């Protein structure tokens, strides 16, 4: 089993180091190989997703990804900016199924901006389609507006689209995830306005016939954004497209107030996957040794479960993380009075010890 390690920029290298430390502390050893990505890829090879990095990711059984982006790359042209590496990896590896849990650990309930009774015990899973939609649809660009009241002016344009097979495969991922949880699936669309999402809804209903044990409902995206704020615990699994999923999964993560705790998985059709924390590269605190490595460590646990078929090892890591929280250890982002503030490496060491 070979793991590609792509630390990236900002706090990426520090937090990935801790996850590697935890993986190395397991009985079974995995082959790991690192490569630069994002700004680091651009600095080393003139491109955010260098050829060698992509080849390594393709050859590996799973990819552990830190975070990308740093101030010095902000003014590069779009095709060279760090985040293009993420889009390139998703597309080239066919990582269409993004799993983003939003879980609020009881010990961290105070970190949320929402009232404890609204979020305590929150445990929802957002399944976001990751390789289709308006993210990749063609044609797109800037052109002369061909008709209507603005004819002759410049206009920016993009194409939203979902093919039947794309919707079916993400539907199966979502229904199967719901089967393993509370057996409720909410498909989020904008079928009242968009043809793409009326079609999405029709296919979801069709696929639901294969999963009679899962209760499917449908919600417009604007209402979903409201219900996440009003009563987030009413959701079990949410499935939606790439664009709506981008917005809703970040909103859901922020409900917990502890985005430094949230892992993610992006899977292809054979459960090969890329694993990364839900938070960003936080260049403002990079190199200070204070970043929270737990989201990355929990991403490594997801990797063991989904791509490496080592569910017991994943369980061990997740238990160890719960244990360090119970011990009162906190990085700065989740620190509260009465707990013990630790740095990035100390937190990693504590997880290793708790294993």
Ligand X SMILES: CC(C)[C@H](C(=O)O)[C@@H](O)C(=O)O
DSSP conformation class of 137: -
Active site residue 190: yes
CA atoms of 68 and 47, how far apart (whole Å)? 13
135 assigned to active site: yes
Can 222 be counted among the known catalytic residues? Answer: yes
Q: For a copy of itself, which is the closer residue by CB, 77 or 312? A: 77
Which class for 199: exposed (0-12), middle (13-18), buried (19 or more C-beta within 10 A)? middle
Give whichever of 193 and 205 is closer to ligand X, judged by the CB atom.
Answer: 193
**CB 6 within 8 Å of CB 285:** no
Q: Is 281 annotated as a binding residue?
A: yes
Q: Which secondary structure element, helix H or strand E, spans residue 170, and what is its range?
A: helix 164-179
Is 43 annotated in a binding site? The answer is no
Q: What is the largest CA-CA distance in the chain?
A: 67
Annotated ligand binding at 141? The verdict is: no
Residue 42 is among the residues annotated as catalytic for this protein: no
Nearer Cβ to ligand X (67/342): 67
CA distance 14 to 321: 17
Contacts of 226 (CB under 8 A, 6+ apart): none
Closest CA to 323 of 294, 345, 344: 294
Find out whether 103 is annotated in a ligand binding site.
no
287 marked as binding residue: yes
Q: Is 224 annotated as a binding residue?
A: no
CA distances in angstroms from 330 to 81, 110, 116, listed in the order given = 33, 13, 19
Shortest Å, Cβ 222 to ligand X: 5
155 binds, options a copy of itself, ligand X, none, Cβ within 5 to 8 A by partner type: a copy of itself
At its nearest, how many Å lie between a copy of itself and the CB of residue 131? Answer: 10
Using CB positions, name the residue nearest to ligand X. 83
Q: Does 334 count as an annotated binding residue?
A: no
C-beta of 162: minimal distance to ligand X in Å?
16
Residues binding ligand X (CB under 6 A) = 83, 86-87, 192-193, 222, 246
Nearer to ligand X by Cβ, of 215 and 247: the residue is 247
Q: How far apart (Å, rounded) are the C-alpha atoms in residues 145 and 17?
A: 50
Query: Got the DSSP string for 3-61?
Result: EEEEEESTTHHHHHHHHHHHHHTSSS--EEEE---THHHHHHHSSSS-HHHHHHHHHSS
Q: H or E element: which one contains 129?
A: strand 123-129
CA dihedral 246, 247, 249, 252 (to 10 degrees): 170
Would you say 5 or 274 has its CB closer to ligand X?
274
Could you say which of 123, 158, 250, 268 is catalytic? 250
Smallest gap from residue 83 Cβ to ligand X (A)? 4
Q: Which does 78 bind (CB under 5 to 8 A by kind): ligand X, a copy of itself, none?
A: a copy of itself
Residues at the contact surface with a copy of itself, assessed by CB under 8 A? 78, 81, 83, 87, 113-115, 118, 134-135, 137, 140-142, 145, 148-150, 153-166, 190-200, 221-223, 225-226, 228-231, 243-244, 246-251, 253-255, 257, 259
Q: Are strands 263-267 and 97-103 parallel, antiparallel or unpaired?
A: antiparallel
Residue 176 or 192: the one with the smaller Cβ distance to ligand X is 192
Per the residue annotation, which of 9, 42, 133, 190 is the catalytic one? 190
Q: Give least dist CB 337 to a copy of itself, A.
A: 16
Q: Which residues are annotated as a binding site for NAD(+)?
A: 280-292
Q: Which residues are annotated as a binding site?
A: 90, 100, 128, 222, 246, 250, 280-292
Q: Report, as residue numbers or ranges, the catalytic residues.
A: 135, 190, 222, 246, 250
């Amino acid at each position: 089993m070979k793991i590609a390690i792509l630390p990236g920029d900002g706090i990426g290298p520090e937090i990935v180091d801790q996850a590697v430390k935890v993986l190395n502390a397991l009985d079974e050893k995995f082959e790991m190989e690192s490569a630069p990505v994002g700004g680091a890829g651009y600095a080393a090879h003139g491109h955010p997703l260098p050829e060698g990095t992509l080849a390594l990711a393709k050859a590996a059984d799973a990819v552990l990804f830190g975070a990308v982006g740093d101030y010095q790359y902000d003014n590069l042209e779009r095709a060279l900016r760090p985040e293009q590496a993420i889009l390139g990896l998703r597309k080239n590896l066919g990582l269409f199924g993004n799993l983003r849990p939003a879980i609020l650990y009881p010990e961290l309930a105070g970190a949320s901006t929402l009232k404890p009774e609204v979020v305590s015990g929150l445990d929802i899973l957002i399944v976001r389609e990751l390789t289709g939609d308006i993210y990749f649809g063609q044609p797109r660009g800037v052109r002369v507006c061909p008709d209507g009241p603005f004819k002759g002016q410049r206009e920016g344009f993009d194409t939203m689209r979902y093919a039947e097979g794309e919707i079916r495969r993400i539907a199966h991922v979502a229904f199967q995830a719901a089967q393993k949880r509370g057996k409720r699936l909410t498909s989020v669309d904008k079928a009242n306005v968009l043809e793409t999402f009326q079609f999405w809804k029709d296919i979801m209903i069709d696929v639901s016939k294969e999963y009679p044990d899962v209760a499917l409902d449908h919600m417009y995206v604007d209402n979903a954004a409201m219900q996440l704020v009003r009563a987030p615990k009413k959701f079990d699994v949410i499935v939606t497209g790439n664009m709506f999923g981008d917005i809703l999964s970040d909103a859901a993560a922020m409900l917990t107030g502890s985005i430094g705790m949230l892992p993610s998985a992006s899977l292809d059709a054979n459960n090969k996957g890329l694993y990364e924390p839900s938070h960003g590269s936080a260049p403002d605190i990079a190199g200070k040794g204070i970043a929270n490595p737990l989201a990355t460590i929990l991403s490594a646990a997801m990797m063991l479960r989904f791509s490496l078929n080592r569910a017991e090892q994943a369980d061990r890591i997740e238990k160890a993380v719960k244990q360090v929280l119970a011990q009162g250890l906190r990085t700065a982002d989740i620190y509260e009075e009465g707990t013990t503030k630790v740095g990035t490496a100390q937190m990693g060491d504590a997880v290793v010890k708790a294993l």
